[in-house]
Amino acid sequence: MVNTKVTLCGVELDNPVIPASGTFGYGHEFAELYDINKLGAFSFKGTTREERFGNPTPRIAECTAGMINSVGLQNPGVEKVVNEELPKLKKVYRKKVMANVSGFSVEDYAYTCAKLDGCEQVGWIEVNVSCPNVHGGGMSFGTSEKAAAEVTRAVKKVTAKPVLIKLSPNVTDIVSIAKACEDAGADGVSLINTLLGMRIDIKRRKPVISNVLGGFSGPAVFPVALGMVYRVAKAVKIPVVGMGGVSSAEDVIEMMLAGATAVEVGAANLVNPFASSEIVDDLPRAMEKYGINSLENIIGRC
């Protein structure tokens, strides 16, 4: 009998599979399709201090082995998440959920995290300093060691929950930024967020996406993500949550061998809403195939 359990920042998960923020709504949408309690956890839709409509449409473009999105953090704002979305989720989900937070100032991050700190359902706070689809916030905090550390310190002051900083691959040295977050008190890091990319409509000779550039995700980015997870995991002592192009049980195992304690599944959920469920179901088979008795024993064993 294989053991799929892992422990992320002191919280035990039945398995390491976590649907990524922006690909799983606030959970109850997917609960209509299957029992989402089979998941290790999930990271809910990126939440900001105030309600956001997001970027103008069109904001999705298909690519070979992936997709580009520029949704722009569309969400109802933290007050509605706390008072409406989380109570609705509680009816269908009994485990801890990961709260994904973004902002446009250090004060924004601190305010939103403080609000979510009081929610019993929230097990971890994933602080997104890497969204490429907003101006004046998001990724601008994750491209410098100083700014990422400043956000980390501000959030740690207002919450007792484990804080994971979600890092951008669109930087020169992701390792130095991860270490800066660790030094500032982060309990973990998650990576990678999407790469910057674009598509052009040849007939119209204009960008497909209204925002021109968007976040590129999907199977094509997996090798890039795996390499960054490996480098960061070797450099820090805090847990790493790996993501980027994950679409199979074998991908999960690769991410864990590279150093990830848990693994987020993103774009695959948008192509197949049962993707995360199917990966959970397939993990025992993959573990038996490769002679793995316990997933915790393979973390960083590459």
Q: Any bridge partners for residue 100, and if so which?
A: 126
Q: Give the model's pLDDT for residue 140.
A: 57
pTM above 0.75, yes or no: yes
Domain residue limits, the chain: 6-55+73-200+216-298
pLDDT digits (tens, 9 = 90+) for 41-79: 999 999 999 999 888 899 999 999 999 988 888 999 999
R_g of the chain, CA atoms, integer Å:
18
Among this protein's residues, is 181 annotated catalytic?
no
Catalytic residue, from 9, 113, 131, 181: name it: 131
In terms of CATH architecture, what is 6-55+73-200+216-298? Alpha-Beta Barrel (3.20)
Range with top average pLDDT, 66-75, 122-131, 139-148, 260-269: 260-269
Q: What is the pLDDT of residues 83-128, one digit of tens each?
A: 999 999 999 999 999 999 999 899 999 999 999 999 999 999 999 9
Mean pLDDT value of segment 12-23 = 97
